[in-house]
């Protein structure tokens, strides 16, 4: 079974208002799920709008992350109060938690992304972390959300850093799916890979303009946020589980194992993983174009103010056995790194990361 997309998508300015009649037909007692204080105003608006529709609405926040502790707390709130849907309004962690909880309880999930940092509003997938943000596993859900509300007026309020992070994560779709899945003889997978190539090209053309430009009616901004929040999700939906992630996400998952005082966004870490994946392809698979791709990505990432080394993510890999820890987690049996079409050993990861961090290889 494959769930390609949310059942209904509202997009554009005031998509939230346009979605209200549909939402009120679907649910009488929703729980609004959020996390960070920064977006409380938007959730208050959502709450008041639903109250005005005479819905029995309540709200709850994740205390930590999309972690089992928070998930079980929120599940109990829903069961005790007989809520009949979850409206997940926030970033990727909130969307993933909302989808996962709704899937467990067999109630519909409505996703309302409040930034362009993620395509989690679209997909039938949740990533589970520890309370401290260490990646544990991803879980395939039975379906994509029932309704996705991609309201540009909400997304405009998000810090520009979230947009940069979303661009890096969406770019990874092409670099990961093309290396892992291009030999898979399945039309839909091939089409998903080609969509991710067009997505990459659009981001290379429009990404920096979107990041630096004025919001409002800036078409680069509009196309970029929809590329990150919608098209990236569509690629996952069409490609399904055969259209796989690879080293960029495997390295992201490993980097999250190191707990640091400053938290970095998913796409910010994936972007560094992407540069490292390309170095691995160059080193182990004789990919002659990898260096070109690194240079091209590096210029864009600098324009987007994105980190380009693990050190810039606040981690010194040469301290506290960090390099070993990252290499171990990257190469564990269930890691996506093994979807690469060439063998990767722990020593390869150690070598590529230490060279990269020491910048022995000039970019």
Instruction: Name beta bridge partners: 125.
Output: 140
Interacting residue with Zn ion among 103, 169, 176, 357 (CB under 5 A): 169
Instruction: Name beta bridge partners: 184.
Output: none
Least Å from the CB of residue 188 to Zn ion = 20
Asked if 117 contacts 92 with a C-beta cutoff of 8 angstroms, the reply is yes
Q: Determine the interface stretch with Zn ion among 17-25, 161-169, 282-290, 324-332 (rule: CB under 5 A).
A: 161-169
Least Å from the CB of residue 93 to Zn ion = 12
Query: Does residue 268 interact with Zn ion by CB under 5 A?
Result: no
Q: Which is nearer to Zn ion, 96 or 169 (CB)?
A: 169
Residue pointed to by tokens 């979850």? 86
Q: Which two tokens stand for residue 42?
A: 């938007």
Q: What CA–CA distance (Å, rounded) separates 35 from 39?
A: 8
Q: Which is nearer to Zn ion, 27 or 196 (CB)?
A: 196
The 10 Å CB-count burial string (b at 16+, else e) for 132-167 is: ebbbeebeebebbbbbbbbbbebbeebeebbbbbbb
The three-point CA angle 36-40-45 to 5° equals 150
Site for Zn ion in 215-244 (CB under 5 A): none
Q: Which is nearer to Zn ion, 43 or 161 (CB)?
A: 161
SS3 of 128, please? strand
Q: Which is nearer to Zn ion, 84 or 138 (CB)?
A: 138
Q: Determine the interface stretch with Zn ion among 43-51, 78-86, 106-114, 165-173 (rule: CB under 5 A).
A: 165-173
Q: Determine the interface stretch with Zn ion among 8-16, 75-83, 154-162, 164-172 (rule: CB under 5 A).
A: 164-172
Asked if 266 contacts 118 with a C-beta cutoff of 8 angstroms, the reply is yes
Residue pointed to by tokens 């996506």? 336
Q: Determine the interface stretch with Zn ion among 19-27, 132-140, 163-171, 324-332 (rule: CB under 5 A).
A: 163-171
Point out which residues bind Zn ion (CB under 5 A): 169
């Amino acid at each position: 079974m494959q769930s390609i997309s949310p059942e209904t998508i509202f997009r554009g300015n005031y998509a939230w208002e346009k979605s209200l009649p549909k939402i009120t037909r679907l649910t009488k007692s929703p729980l609004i799920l959020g996390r960070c204080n920064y977006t409380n105003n938007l959730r208050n608006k959502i709450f008041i709008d639903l109250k005005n529709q005479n819905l029995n609405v309540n709200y709850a926040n994740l205390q930590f992350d999309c972690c089992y502790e928070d998930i079980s707390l929120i599940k109990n709130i829903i069961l005790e109060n007989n809520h009949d849907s979850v409206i997940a309004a926030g970033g990727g962690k909130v969307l993933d938690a909302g989808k996962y909880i709704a899937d467990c309880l067999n109630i519909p999930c409505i996703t309302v992304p409040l930034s362009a940092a993620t395509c989690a509003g679209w997909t039938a997938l949740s990533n589970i972390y520890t309370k401290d943000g260490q990646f544990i596993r991803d879980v395939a859900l039975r379906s994509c959300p029932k309704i996705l509300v991609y309201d540009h007026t909400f997304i405009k309020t998000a810090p520009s850093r979230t947009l940069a992070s979303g661009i890096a994560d969406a770019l990874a779709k092409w670099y990961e799916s093309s290396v892992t899945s291009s030999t898979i003889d399945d039309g839909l997978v091939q089409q998903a890979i080609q969509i991710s190539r067009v997505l990459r090209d659009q981001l290379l053309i429009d990404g920096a303009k979107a990041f630096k430009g004025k919001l409002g009616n800036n078409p680069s901004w509009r196309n970029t946020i929809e590329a990150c929040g919608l098209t990236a999700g569509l690629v996952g939906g069409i490609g399904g589980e055969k259209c796989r992630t690879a080293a960029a996400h495997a390295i992201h998952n490993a980097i999250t194992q190191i707990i640091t005082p400053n938290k970095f966004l998913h796409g910010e870490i994936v972007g560094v993983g992407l540069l490292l994946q390309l170095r691995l392809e160059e080193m182990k698979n004789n990919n002659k174009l990898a260096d070109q791709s690194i240079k091209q990505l590096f210029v864009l990432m600098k324009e987007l103010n994105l980190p380009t080394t693990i050190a810039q993510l606040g981690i010194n890999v040469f301290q506290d056995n960090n390099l070993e820890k990252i290499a171990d987690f990257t190469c564990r049996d269930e890691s996506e790194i093994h979807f690469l079409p060439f063998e990767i050993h722990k020593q390869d990861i150690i070598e590529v990361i230490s060279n990269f961090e020491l910048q022995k290889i000039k970019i």
